[in-house]
Structure 1
């Protein structure tokens, strides 16, 4: 009897029904999607805001997401979720600025905008380079980590099982049950993405969001109830953190008295400094500022407080998604009109931050109490979420939770396959290799590209360590380009070389840190795992937030210098872009010569931005603090949420009618 039979028959029935449904959607939408490239990649630009916004939420909810959040919350407390909570700030840019601008541009992919905004060979090169960069390197890493995340869930829920041995064309193949399940899911996701294109992606995303949210809420409810409610959870966290601190202090004392490398001792001390000391610290959304520590010391720079400052002050405007972000832009461009584009982004951001956060965080906190030490677990801290599922859920509920992970996993896989395929076909194959072919030809080319993407993602998944570190590596890789992406819409002086230099420097600098970590790991006689550890600089760990500052600083200096050292785009190209998109901003004589039609997107922007923070973060903290019985914070947060939405409704949504 293999370990997979931990599941009851009813669980397998629930899983089977869901997989049949997903495949059925692909078959149902295949005819409509195959009509032309716009249908295959943008559903004919006919979709309503609620479907697009829900699809955005579903596709950013992968199987790895609660695992990464658990990994962060267990080691440093929930404040580290600012790693993704800060994304709301560029999400607000998408809501109030870029949603309407992208819809006006009427391009098929975001890379097509490059030749609308810039001219000549630099623009063509940039389009080719960015399409390959994001469709291949970025996409491979993302597909790798979501496959890795799903594999981690199934490892805990199903076990490794006994290998399945068989032959294929004379080759002996050994596949364990967990891997077989992962590849069944990948195969179904790939098949309906192939058949139905963006239509199937959005239809399945809407259902997948409902399933995934229901599963997350049910697990959070069961988990908190199991430990005796919220108050008992807080007491349990106090005890657990006190015990973990004692263990670390003993390890540090042994290290100081023994013969260990300075960087190993520094890593232990850093781990103790970052560990929450109580339940109050664990649930605090702002880490404690270190006292009596010099501001420019490694101790301060490696502190939780400084990391928090970097996340909320730098990361949001510096990364590669500041003007919308890849597959979110794809959905924005598929909207019926500008109002639907704006409303889709507003709904996505509210659902993403206010609704999704707390079920995952609650389970992560419960996992600390139930499984204090996961150092011996091969999956590390991220295993905590799946272990709570496995221990607390019975027949039926376990099947529902597994289906919620399947839904999250498949919604991300199908999106990245369709989106990456659009870049390879529209921005490379159609633009540079085989222009002028029939629409059916390009749809078939997209299907071929889809298969190639999933094969490469599978190879990356086999060699990936920490999901959290992979997540951060991808963000750092494009962290120096964010300001260029914003300014290219609003400042005439930005040119193609600005983007090229920013992206190249960010990529090279980020890879340089990973190479340094690899050299140090191998030099210490340890096996190297991709994104497995931070590099050591001057005897101290050099974590993500410090790497981010270096990458952003170098990139900023480089692209500014390159911008002023190269020629601006031609007046004809700038005029054509401004006329089509009407962005407003610093366009000098070009903007003054072209009359605006209707309200500029920048009107009341600062007030809209503040209202957006109040509405979404207010809603997020109102829900979280209410669940955690912190009423002195929950009530003001709820008031901020209501006030923020009232302003947005009156100032933005009603005027877009």
Structure 2
């Protein structure tokens, strides 16, 4: 595949603008660590919302969706669609709490909620565990997708893709800090969406595909179209729908979809002007992320089944691709090679935009952990703001190098997704409960973190995994792997909670007074404070969780029905599309009413 002068022009202009933004904002971003990592906490909801969408629009996401659709059909996407429940809980319950905490990172929360050496250890350890290990794994999956795209579309060797894409990304990330990331995300969002929609329209109308009608009636595609799994297939229903909706969304920790909020989503909420802007940003993100954005990728994935029916056909068409990089996820970049000049340049720019947005966010977020939660806490408590920014820029470069090296060793993004889900299984409930149950302590989280990590490693790298969960021969069905880790981890952390001392009254009173979480889970603390004549309750603040959960349900109905409606409009099933559109409108009106009530309570 050869790029035209127009394609090169589009890509060069895009790179120039992105680097220019990084240089322009570098001076202000370097003034303080707060500016570098949170942009002075002055960001509006719409800019943060667009940034969240752009960040999760990574190069590995369309590849992952393509892999899922080709393997399990459209309904296979419930493995990540289920995280909408987590997202809505963050919007209407946790966004307000995070913004009120006023911490610099979500890990700083540990020493707000817990006390003593266990809290200090937890904060420092997780700064490396999440900021380096998990972060590097996530970025390497994104870089792996970039390697596959570069190999398929441009014939680049893996190291060439890593050096060219990584060098520009790490440069503007290190210079511009969080402000540079968010400002470029604004541009990257429109470029990425435009490229995805343009590619889907053109590729579905290729002569060999024949348009939407021919695609949807193709013999190999018809069985992949259902948005819900086949209910006559018990294993598919349990694996694709029941486990994600009943267990996965609240029990598993996954980057960008953390129960109770966290990670780079928390970073954006903490950077918002106020609580309302934090809520607005996360709600806008969830609408775009789940209801609208997946469909261009799904259409390309379905079209790829017609053009490249199996992995062998991809290997035959692209013999230069190494055997260890072959997989169904390659079908997405393989389809993009059929784009015409101009649109090809735009789509390549959009993929570069997706890569840069995700990696720059991960770099700035991971670097914030290293600076605030490790370096300042463990190495140099008296560090100046200039030193903190310098360490932030240095750690940004180191994280990029580590993730690039790991990406060269990886094969499939779906494997990484499954591994991260398993590693976080059983920990998610703690992140939900720690705000609303006084008895959760630092040892609860330490026990859960090590239990899920050790169990996941045992299941993935030792014969125990095959013995317990091998298809047809395992002790348990293969779909029981995540529930198994969740169940064992939960038993361990519940036991650890009651076997260790609760946090001190001083710590619990201080947390309650600052956050005002409310609810029956804090009644004992409030009663003890009253008995000691300590005033920790703000009488003007109402407990907002019941109304927040009601809004969460309405939000889920709204976004899921929008997602179904969009799909049925594309499929040409007008009656179903109209029904789901009507339900979405009703849910939207009810949500506006609930939102206005909640907004007045916040104000």
Query: Normalization by structure 1: what TM-score?
Result: 0.84
Task: Quote the Cα distance in structure 1 between the aligned partners of 2:558 and 2:583.
Answer: 6
Counterpart of 1:270 in structure 2 is none
Matches within 5 A, 1:352-367: 352-367=289-304
Query: Whole-Å Cα distance in 2 between the matches of residues 552 and 75 of structure 1?
Result: 25
Helix, strand or coil at the partner of 1:323: coil
Q: Cα–Cα, structure 1 residues 545 and 9, in superposed 2: closer, same or farther, change >3 Å?
A: farther
SS at match of 1:489: coil
Matched, 1:583 2:517: yes
Q: 1:362 to 1:483 in 2, by over 3 A?
A: same
Structure 1 residues 156 and 541: CA distance shift in structure 2, 3 A: farther
Counterparts of 1:94-173 in structure 2, within 5 Å, are 94-160=90-156
- Counterparts of 1:238-249 in structure 2, within 5 Å, are 238=219, 240=220
Kindly provide the CA deviation profile for residues 41-68 of structure 1, in whole angstroms up to 9, marking residues without a partner as x.
0000000000001101111110010000
3-state secondary structure, aligned to 2:439: coil
Structure 2 vs 1, CA of residues 541 and 384 (structure 1 numbering), >3 Å: closer, same or farther?
farther
* Closer/same/farther in 2, CA of residues 570 and 352 from structure 1, 3 Å limit: same
Which SS does the other structure have where 1:32 is aligned? helix
Once residues 331 and 565 of structure 1 are traced to their aligned partners in structure 2, the CA distance between those partners, rounded to angstroms, is 36
Query: How far, CA to CA, are the matches of 2:44 and 2:495 in structure 1?
Result: 43
Give the 3-state SS of the residue equivalent to 2:337 in structure 1: helix
Match of 1:283 among 203, 221, 225: 225
Is the 1:64–1:146 Cα contact (8 Å) retained in structure 2?
A: yes
Do structure 1's residue 231 and structure 2's residue 213 form an aligned pair? yes
Residue correspondence of structure 1 range 295-310 to structure 2 within 5 A = 302-310=235-243
Structure 1 segment 530-609 matched on structure 2, within 5 A: 536=470, 539-540=473-474, 545-585=479-519, 586-591=521-526, 593=530, 594-609=537-552
| 2: CA distance, partners of 1:414 / 1:517 | 38
In the alignment of these two chains, the number of paired residues is 575
Q: Distance in 1 between matches of 2:480 and 2:146?
A: 30
The alignment status of 1:629 with 2:566, answered yes or no, reads no
Q: Which range moved further: 606-615 or 403-412?
A: 606-615
Give matches, 1:336-485, under 5 Å: 336-375=273-312, 377=315, 378=323, 379-391=326-338, 393-485=339-431
Classify the secondary structure of the residue corresponding to 2:18: helix
SS at 1:598's partner residue?
Answer: coil
What is the rounded CA distance, in whole Å, between the counterparts of 1:74 and 1:510 in structure 2? Answer: 27
CA distance in 1, matches of 2:150, 2:555: 38
Question: In 1, distance between residues paired with 2:555 and 2:236?
Answer: 29
* Structure 2 residue 129 is the aligned partner of structure 1 residue 186: no
Are 1:501 and 2:434 an aligned pair?
A: no
In 2, the alpha carbon distance for the partners of 1:613 and 1:545 equals: 25
Q: Distance in 2 between matches of 1:145 and 1:224?
A: 27
Distance in 2 (CA, whole Å) between partners of 1:396 and 1:473 is 38
Partner of 2:318: none
Asked whether 1:326 is paired with 2:260, we answer: no
Deviations along 1:302-331, one digit per CA (max 9) or x if unpaired, are: 545444210111000012210113000000
CA distance in 1, matches of 2:238, 2:466: 27
Q: Secondary structure at the match of 1:112?
A: coil
- Whether contact under 8 Å (2:459, 2:465) holds in the other structure is no
Q: Distance in 2 between matches of 1:519 and 1:631?
A: 46
Query: Structure 1 residues 381, 580: closer, same or farther in 2, change over 3 A?
Result: same
CA distance in 2, matches of 1:207, 1:213: 10
Q: Which moved more, 1:541-550 or 1:144-153?
A: 541-550
1:584 alignment partner, SS class: coil
Rate the CA distance shift 1:450–1:543 in 2: closer, same or farther, 3 A.
farther
| Structure 2 contact 81–290 (Cα < 8 Å) conserved | yes
Q: Contact 2:48–2:272 at 8 Å: present in 1 too?
A: yes
Q: Distance in 2 between matches of 1:588 and 1:605?
A: 20
Q: Distance in 1 between matches of 2:363 and 2:460?
A: 26
Instruction: State the 1:184 CA deviation.
Output: 1.7
Matching residue within 48, 51, 57 for 1:55: 51
**1:544: Cα distance to partner?**
7.3
Distance 1:401 1:482 in 2: 36
Distance 1:73 1:363 in 2: 10
Equivalent of residue 314 in structure 1, options 247, 271, 285: 247
Structure 2: runs of 5+ lacking an equivalent = 316-322, 531-536
Following the alignment from structure 2 to structure 1, what is the Cα–Cα distance between the partners of residues 549 and 389? 42
CA distance in 2, matches of 1:127, 1:17: 42
Task: Determine the structure 2 residue equivalent to 1:253.
Answer: none
Tell whether the 8 Å contact from 1:472 to 1:544 is kept in structure 2 after alignment: no
Match of 1:207 in 2: 187
Q: Which residue of 2 aligns with 1:266?
A: none
Q: Counterparts of 1:127 and 1:306 in 2: how far apart (Å)?
A: 34
Describe the superposition over 1:480-503 as per-residue Cα deviations: whole angstroms up to 9, x where unpaired.
111011110000110111111111
The match for 2:36 is 40
Matched, 1:515 2:461: yes
The DSSP-based 3-state class of the residue aligned with 2:301 is helix
Q: 1:425 to 1:13 in 2, by over 3 A?
A: same
1:375 match: secondary structure: helix
Given that 1:510 and 1:547 are in contact with CA atoms closer than 8 Å, whether structure 2 keeps it comes out as no
